[in-house]
Amino acid sequence: MTNERFASIWDAIEDTPAEAANLRLRSTLMMVLKEHIEQGGLTQAQAAALFGVTQPRVSDLLRGKIDLFSLDALVSMATGAGLRVDLQVRAAA
């Protein structure tokens, strides 16, 4: 066991900074979509219709199955829900 420290959990579980950044973005989008469902009081079926996906996809989203979602898919779901997705890029610390 090592005492290596990481900036985030994503950095600890992924092999490259690019993979960690991808997971971080997907996680953020999934949490926003879940919050949108909860705040709107939507059923999974209603959310699926809004996001343009099937109800089982919404179930996967709510259960946090991050490996089943690409950034493209999550951005499409968010825009389908009427959300605007912005990307901020800055120099690494």
Summarize pLDDT for 15-68 with one digit per residue, the tens. Answer: 677 888 899 999 999 999 999 999 999 999 999 999 999 999 999 999 999 999
Q: Topology of domain 17-80, per CATH?
A: 434 Repressor (Amino-terminal Domain) (1.10.260)
DSSP for residue 63 = T
* Rounded (10°) angle between helices 71-80 and 44-51: 100
pLDDT classification of 90: cutoffs 50, 70, 90: confident
Question: Using CA atoms, how far apart are residues 71 and 91, in angstroms rounded to an integer?
Answer: 21
